[in-house]
């Protein structure tokens, strides 16, 4: 019989289940993801750092884990919550069971939780702090420790997950562009999609001094996704402005999008329970087309179709059709654009990968040495 385990939320609600993956305790912000596939990519997405991720799809582990579907070196989520873990895995690419993978990499997880009840709880009360712990843990003491954890607001987690050293991802085929990528928790798919488009990507630590980056004059700047509160991240703002002034194309995703917003004066705020899943409809304002997007964010840039408060230089390019939040920005004069969602989409639909093409096109336009037209 598996060991009993529990999930406790900061409001005192307890869900009981069984231990899965590594045994022990884990603390973090409890969030839910509605993707029906892609648990491995979710686990290894650095944006989930500091979070206990619940999958709303009830059967997890069905197709195992493999070496190709890692979005970073290993799991990033602080803990994992599922309704029912698969007894076996079955897929031609599978190399290991999810349980063994979690246990091997030390990720504490729980199975047997009514994840729908949990989701409805978070949906109405908001993402909140919580803990996974063995079933016999004293609840009062655990609650106290949960409440002693830091709130997600004001937390800079991105700097912590950034690469300590810069490294280079070579272009696939001929190198056409040199791109600098800020790593705030970059996903390997983003780098791969750039490399496939002829970009040699230099991935740099979050704390790299701005002048160093601007001085290097890359062909383009990529600002990655990442965990935590964008307001708490001080890096990159100056670089974004500096390179934008030099008319270097800048492309941001998720946290990168929020930082681009902040660089030009926009403010961000925390959503009640965020967007995490692979089915969010987003309208592209330029032509009205709807993209089905992969999302993973708890914060958003303030604004609407009419404008971005505090950032007159920016305009919204994409809007979320479910709740009207800003999903994309661009600079009115510079080749700076960003999306709140995940066009690299791993996991998730591939509707938005054209944004990587756009980034490369912007570099191409400048590669010819011409100024960008108004």
215 belongs to the binding site for other proteins (CB under 8 A): no
Give the Cα separation of 171 and 263 in Å (integer). Answer: 29
Among 10, 11, 86, 231, binds other proteins (CB under 8 A): 86
342 belongs to the binding site for other proteins (CB under 8 A): no
Is 199 among the residues known to form the active site?
no
User: Which of these is catalytic: 254, 291, 330, 362?
Assistant: 254
Using the contact rule CB under 8 A, the part of the chain among 22-30, 82-90, 160-168, 366-374 near other proteins is 82-90
Is 344 among the residues known to form the active site?
yes
Among 63, 80, 182, 264, binds other proteins (CB under 8 A): 63
CB 278 within 8 A of CB 312: no
Q: Specify which residues 17 forms β-bridges with.
A: 5
Segment 300-339, which members bind other proteins (CB under 8 A)? Answer: 321-322
Tell me the CA distances in angstroms from 252 to 79, 141, 164, 327, one per residue in order.
27, 42, 21, 12
Using the contact rule CB under 8 A, the part of the chain among 72-80, 137-145, 192-200, 285-293 near other proteins is 285-293
Which pairs count as long-range contacts for 117-121, CB under 8 Å and 24+ apart, including other chains?
Answer: 117/15, 118/7, 118/15, 118/30, 118/32, 118/54, 118/81, 119/32, 119/54, 119/56, 121/9, 121/13
What are the residue ranges of helices labelled H in the chain?
39-43, 98-105, 115-125, 139-148, 158-161, 188-196, 210-216, 237-245, 255-263, 354-367
208 belongs to the binding site for other proteins (CB under 8 A): no
Among 97, 149, 159, 279, binds other proteins (CB under 8 A): 279
Residues within the interface to other proteins (CB under 8 A): 15, 32, 34-38, 40-41, 56-59, 62-63, 66, 68-69, 83-84, 86-93, 114-117, 119-120, 123, 277-281, 283, 288-290, 292, 321-322, 345-350
* Catalytically active residues, by annotation: 254, 342, 344
């Amino acid at each position: 019989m598996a060991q009993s385990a529990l999930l406790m939320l900061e409001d005192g609600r307890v869900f009981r289940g069984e231990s899965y993956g590594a045994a022990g305790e884990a603390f973090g912000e409890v969030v839910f993801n509605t993707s029906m596939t892609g648990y491995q990519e979710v686990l290894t997405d650095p944006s989930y750092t500091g979070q206990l991720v619940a999958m709303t799809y009830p059967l997890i582990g069905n197709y195992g884990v493999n070496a190709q579907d890692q979005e970073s070196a290993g799991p990033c989520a602080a803990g994992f919550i599922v309704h029912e873990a698969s007894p076996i895995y079955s897929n031609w690419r599978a190399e290991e069971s999810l349980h063994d993978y979690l246990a091997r990499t030390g990720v504490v997880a729980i199975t047997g939780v009514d994840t729908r009840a949990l989701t409805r709880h978070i949906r109405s009360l908001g993402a909140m702090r919580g803990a996974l712990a063995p079933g016999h843990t004293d609840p009062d003491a655990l609650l106290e420790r949960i409440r002693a954890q830091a709130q997600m607001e004001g937390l800079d987690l991105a700097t912590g997950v950034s690469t300590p050293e810069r490294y280079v991802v070579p272009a696939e085929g001929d190198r056409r562009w040199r791109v600098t990528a800020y790593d705030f928790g970059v996903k390997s798919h983003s780098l791969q999609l750039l490399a496939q488009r002829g970009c040699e990507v230099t991935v740099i630590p979050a704390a790299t001094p701005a002048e160093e980056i601007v001085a290097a004059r890359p062909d383009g700047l990529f600002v990655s996704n990442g965990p935590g509160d964008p307001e708490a991240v001080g890096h990159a703002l100056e670089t974004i402005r500096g390179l934008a002034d030099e008319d270097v194309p800048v492309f941001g995703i998720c946290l990168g999008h929020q930082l681009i917003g902040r660089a030009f004066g926009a403010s961000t705020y925390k959503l009640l329970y965020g967007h995490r899943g692979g089915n969010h409809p987003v309208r592209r304002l330029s032509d009205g087309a709807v993209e089905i997007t992969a999302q993973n964010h708890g914060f958003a840039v303030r604004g609407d179709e009419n404008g971005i408060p505090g950032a007159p230089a920016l305009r919204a390019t994409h809007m979320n059709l479910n709740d009207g939040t800003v999903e994309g920005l661009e600079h009115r004069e510079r080749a700076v654009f960003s999306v709140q969602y995940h066009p690299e989409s791993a996991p998730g639909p591939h509707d938005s990968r054209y944004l990587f093409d756009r980034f490369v096109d912007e570099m191409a336009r400048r590669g010819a040495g011409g100024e960008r037209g108004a």
